[in-house]
Structure 1
């Protein structure tokens, strides 16, 4: 929990600084890459979290991985975190930065679980509904296919969930029969 608070504060500071320097979009792109790289490399995450690995080695590894492909502000930020012994927070900071960025820009993520792959018309309709109901500027859709749903879909946006799956309807009907309601 404390790690999340610290990561959130570092992310907020980086957002403020990057906004001040008109580099918010560049830094957001760097944070997306950073999150993906650390998430995809358990070895890198282990090195960043390991207090035994010398700070200069961690800095060298990050320089080798990201080199000149990131904004100068991101490079300076990474160097500062490593020198302060806070490299274990990098993954959390990247995630928190992206979350805070999305809040600032009015971007929401809708998780859609359906029995079959969504069509483009489905995506457009879901996007329109979420924009209208939530008041979002942009909707990112994460799709999952679960054949156990039989048909329909489950839509999650933040802490809200709408279940329009056939399996859910069947389970509800089953419970009603068991209770003798129907």
Structure 2
């Protein structure tokens, strides 16, 4: 069965444009704060969307609800986020709250990622693995991709248990695929360190081709 073609709606376009407007304002303010602040606030904005909002439907509903007063939204931001995030990001969220724009925070995050990547000359690589990457393996993948592509690389990670013994990396239109189709019972008992070592070996093989 053929899926229907999805067309952008006026609402989608409006959210995208609003997201870009606020994202530019956030990044501009962060650059004025000093070196590295833009990276920090954009990373924290992503964590806010992925962990705090996506993981807490009640919080998400409260932030976007017109029935919750602006003052209450500001109090929620202070109470839940004040000690966790950069003061500039907290101030930015409060501005969005007073303008009843917190329902667009995901659009701001998407735009901020894209704008900052362009400014930094970074490429985005999506990485799909059978288990979450540890810090060491993540760093080695970034270093190897950066060397191969001769550009800074930012990873977007996802986990797919079907990729036992392998991973799939996409950079633009280029796909590096080292996934293993066979599911062997022994793999399920493989130590995490051993798995990471084998994964890195395959990664080095297909990036050196």
Using the size of structure 1 for normalisation, the TM-score is 0.69
Task: Flag the 1:166–1:37 CA change in 2: closer, same or farther, 3 A.
Answer: closer
**Structure 2: runs of 5+ lacking an equivalent:** 1-11, 182-209
Which whole-Å CA distance do the structure 2 matches of 1:88 and 1:122 have between them? 32
Q: Deviations over 1:150-181 (max 9, x none)?
A: 776432124543445565xxxxxxxxxxxxxx
> Shift of the alpha carbon at 1:44?
1.2
Greater RCO (Cα-Cα under 8 Å, separation 6 or more):
1
Q: 2:170 aligns with which of 152, 156, 176?
A: 156
Correspondence 1:8-27 to 2 at 5 A:
8-22=20-34, 23-27=37-41
Q: 1:65 aligns with which of 80, 85, 94?
A: 80
Which whole-Å CA distance do the structure 1 matches of 2:133 and 2:164 have between them? 14
Using the size of structure 2 for normalisation, the TM-score is 0.62
Which whole-Å CA distance do the structure 2 matches of 1:137 and 1:72 have between them? 27
Which whole-Å CA distance do the structure 1 matches of 2:44 and 2:142 have between them? 29
Structure number with bigger Rg: 1
Q: Deviations over 1:60-103 (max 9, x none)?
A: 11121112433332222112111111111123223432333233
What secondary structure does 1:136 align onto?
A: coil
Correspondence 1:29-48 to 2 at 5 A:
29-35=43-49, 36-48=51-63
Which whole-Å CA distance do the structure 2 matches of 1:65 and 1:125 have between them? 34
> 1:102 and 2:114 equivalent?
no
**Structure 1: runs of 5+ lacking an equivalent:** 168-182
Number of residue pairs the alignment of both structures matches: 165
Cross-structure match for 1:49: 64
More helix by share: 1
What secondary structure does 1:40 align onto?
A: coil
Q: CA RMSD in A?
A: 3.3
Which whole-Å CA distance do the structure 1 matches of 2:138 and 2:44 have between them? 31
Which whole-Å CA distance do the structure 2 matches of 1:125 and 1:69 have between them? 28
